[in-house]
Amino acid sequence: MKQKNKRVIVNDNMQEKYRYELSELPGKNFDLRFKPDLTPKEMLRLGIFGGKYMTDCKKEFPKDWFTSAKLCSEKHNPELNYFGVNASQPLRVWRQKGWIYHEDPRGWFQWYCRYYMGRRIPKEDERQIKRWLAIKRHVSQIKKNCDPKDMNCRPRQRQALLHWAYDSRRI
């Protein structure tokens, strides 16, 4: 079931008057290859990107996403991450590597939040899903090098997986 197209207008620190349409119901009709373990709400609650990532985006997404989110509007704080470590590269590095799509200036997680809510941009969705699939190699590395559910083994790699909606607490 599809939803009637709903228009979203974004005004935050990185985008002004950006508009997009939601053509799918939230959390529904994902590409068959894209099966994230975590929703954006769960990721924010666990602690990702040092709490800095979505502090000015609360009007764009459901209020309940932010009820228990670990956020810090002042600065990136790795202690807010689930594993308490920094597993991020600065946004400038993402830009230099060409990982940023102009409509999602915050990167993959912003794309995922909008995709989850029902926005579809076929070419960009394909690119981001391929990137998400490629990150799975880190799951194999943790399985190969760590005892099952040893949360102290490879915490940066586990945190990075959380940033990509893989639930590394299960590995």
Element (H, E) at 159: helix 155-163
Q: Buried (b) or exposed (e) across 101-128, using 16+ Cβ within 10 A?
A: beebbbbbbbbbbbbbbbbbbeebbeeb
Phi then psi for residue 109, to 5 deg, are -65, -35
C-beta atoms surrounding 38 within 10 Å: 20
Q: Cα 112 to chain center, whole Å?
A: 5
DSSP character string of 4-35: EEEEEEEESSS-EEEEEEEEE-TT-S--TT--
Q: For residue 148, give the DSSP letter.
A: T
Per-residue confidence in pLDDT tens, the chain, 171 aa: 666 689 999 999 999 999 999 999 999 999 999 999 999 999 999 999 999 888 999 999 999 999 999 999 888 899 999 999 999 887 888 789 888 899 999 999 999 999 999 999 999 999 999 999 999 999 999 999 999 999 999 999 999 999 999 999 999
Distance of CA 97 to the CA centre of its chain: 18
**Structure token pair of residue 97:** 């590597």
Task: Name the pTM for this structure.
Answer: 0.93
Residue 146 DSSP code? S
